[in-house]
Chain A
Amino acid sequence: MSEKENILARVREALRVPAPWPGHSPAPSNRTGGPPSDNARQWLPSVRPSFDDQVALFRKNAGDLKAEFFLLEGVDELPAKLAQLRETEGWKKIGTHDGELTTAACRALDLPTCRTDHPYDAKDLETCDAGITECDALIAQTGSVLLTSRSAGGRALSVLPPHHVVLARREQLISDLPEAFALLKRKYQSNYPSFMTLITGPSRTGDIERILVLGAHGPKKLTIFCV
């Protein structure tokens, strides 16, 4: 027998005796409404339905996490905003990928660029001052950015450079975590990207005396532009 069969046989043998229902309560005799986590929304922190409320909540959460969030009037403002960052932070080289928002905005920056749409050299990406990506969604409830290797130029672009800049559209702002996972399913169910992540603020650690330090291994800065 293979180890797989050995382990599964031990599991099946072990499960012959049923375990008591958790939480010191009797098992519901006829449960309705699907698996328990289907109701997650009603227990998680509340989110109001209107767009303005969700923008305000996202702004507050992102701010608490030391991420910067800007709601712009339109796509046209992007080049100027990015140029401003280029000047204030002295960017000399950027990493980015091909996308509806990224392509035009990054071309206007007129900087040496490492493109991660095709296989690239990690050492080259490591020398970039910023990684500019798109995303799949912004989540108001937690102030998170949802992105995948398909929507944001691979796995490393959003984590290796010291500054991660996210370009998002207004319609990408969603309310909460259950909606985020529903969106992933709707969008990718037939063929998931090999990597998907929820980014909640810039990289951080509290491993030394529980004192917050930003930029442990990933980006020290996270800037989100929503157009």
Chain B
Amino acid sequence: MSFVQEFKTQALRLTHDLRHRQLIQTALRKYEIVRDKSRAAFRDWQAARQAAAETKWEAINHLDKYLVEFTDKLAARGTKVHWASTASQARDIILGIIREKKARSIIKSKAMTSEEIHLNEALEHAGYEVVESDLGEFIVQLRHEAPYHIVFPAMHLSRGDISELFTRELGSAQTDNPEELTMIARRVLREKYVTADIGLTGANFAIAETGMISITENEGNARLTGSLPKVVISLLGIEKILPRLEDLALFLPMLAVSGTGQALTCYNSLYGGPRQPGESDGPEEYHVVLLDNRRTELLADAEQRDALHCIRCGACLNVCPIFRNVGGHTYGTTYSGPIGSVITPHLRGLQDWKHLSYASSLCGACTETCPVKIDLHHHLLQNRRNASNQKPSTLEKMAFKLFAFTVNRPGLYAFARGAGRIAQKLHSLVKRTRLDPAGGWTTTRDLPPIASQTFKEFWKTRNKS
């Protein structure tokens, strides 16, 4: 099945799934309440957004300079920096480190970039045990599923689903208490942290000025992953750059407010290298893998370059009427929601993924909520334009030619109008049946009836009376 067919089938199924809808609405309502409260505590949220957008603009539009600064600073303190142009290069680099260390087990904290390069599959295929330590990621890993949402990976599951899953996979007793479920995962994972040979993390920000990686999390799993194993690897996209350490004073609270609604996330940690002289713990080796994977293609599109400002907070997913109805898995992409619809065509091919840009009401809620002011809904329009310029639809072209031909000839137009009135009456007989020639469009849409009188006719009768 093509990507677009798959999308349509899943979307149709999930929009009718009331249980799914209820789970998502409940979760997001809770998010909205805390988000609004935390946002209101800001003295000027809008000015903060503009400053954040300008800071990311500065970073992305001088990316070469900041990448060099970032990696030089990291290397100066003993971090090994690796550059990967493609997903397969990144996988090979990471596999290479693991093989060289003769490691067996790998503990991993949340990293969307690793989903993007399908790292877990590659590591498991090579015979290594990889354990996701973020609770939500741990749950979806047990289900052999991709994360449902970039911030809330298990948002689509009820506590009952999770209890059943734990009983089946971990042999734990059934419970519908979220705290007990969390403690089951805590016990299972504790052992893994202390024994894992390799820790794998993602990153939220890369600080050029000081050569540090910033990781934001609530659970403490990333801190354990970055503290206990002898070798730690961080995988991140080249767009994660922020110029200065102080920029975090703005970005950390904005990420928290937009991502989960918190004023500040529980742990905001900076990692500046392996264990330094005089330090008692931390990894002996620290590796940073920088990934391009077609980000430079998006960078080359000056019109949509601001999509690389994205801090992956998920705020645009949470407000999107499409996401809320079709759900995260339906997209079939690593990054879902509005930002996923904008960037996936750049990362994986415009013609295969243009349908995501059409699956939008263009309401602009995403643009309005984005903490770094990415012009998301205009980018969806630009994707549509680019897709049709690249591969025009002959049917659409013919339809518009026919339309232009008709409206330029008053006689023909009057005839078409009359014929249209009759056709519309007849159409109601076949609407929503297989016989409808325009079924793809009209099954879910009603065309307003053609007026019984034109304006000209109306004017004439009005002046007579």
Contact = CB atoms under 8 A, between A and B. Distances in A.
Interface of A: 2-4, 6-8, 10-15, 17-25, 35-46, 61, 116-120, 122-123, 126, 142, 144, 149-150, 153-156, 159-160, 176-178, 180-182, 184-185, 191-211, 213, 215-219
A45 B272 contact: no
Nearest to A4: B83
A20 to B, nearest CB: 7
Nearest to B268: A198
Contacts of B260: 206
B contact patch SS: helix
Contact of B224 (A25, A38, A217): A217
Closest 3 CB pairs of A and B: A218-B220, A216-B219, A14-B300
A7 B85 contact: yes
Contact of B266 (A3, A200, A211): A200
B181 interface: yes
19 contacts: A3-B89, A10-B300, A24-B375, A25-B50, A36-B54, A37-B51, A37-B246, A40-B246, A40-B250, A150-B278, A150-B279, A192-B212, A194-B275, A195-B271, A200-B266, A201-B266, A203-B220, A205-B136, A213-B179
Contact of A207 (B68, B139, B247): B139
A132 to B, nearest CB: 15
Residue among A37, A144, A185 with the most chain B CB within 10 A?
A: A37
B249 A40 contact: yes
B220 A219 contact: yes
Nearest to A159: B223
A38 B56 CA distance: 14
A201 B217 CA distance: 12
B369 interface: no
Given A37-B244, A43-B45, A156 B227 contact: yes
A113 to B, nearest CB: 14
A23 B220 contact: no
Contacts of A176: 249
B338 interface: no
B267 A197 contact: yes
A155 B238 CA distance: 26
A60 to B, nearest CB: 11
A197 B269 contact: yes
Contact of A217 (B26, B68, B152, B189): B189
A23 B50 contact: yes
Contacts of B280: 116-120, 153-154
A199 B267 contact: yes
Contacts of B67: 7-8, 11
Contacts of A150: 278-279
A173 to B, nearest CB: 16
Contacts of B117: none
Contacts of B136: 205, 207
Nearest to B211: A192
Nearest to B228: A122
Given A193-B276, A194-B273, A209-B158, A217 B221 contact: yes
Contact of A23 (B53, B154, B157, B250): B53
A210 B159 CA distance: 10
B51 A126 contact: no
Interface in B123-157: 133-136, 139, 152-155, 157
B302 to A, nearest CB: 4
Given A45-B263, A184-B245, A194-B282, A203 B218 contact: yes
A164 to B, nearest CB: 10
A160 to B, nearest CB: 7
A60 B123 CA distance: 46
Given A45-B42, A196-B270, A155 B57 contact: no
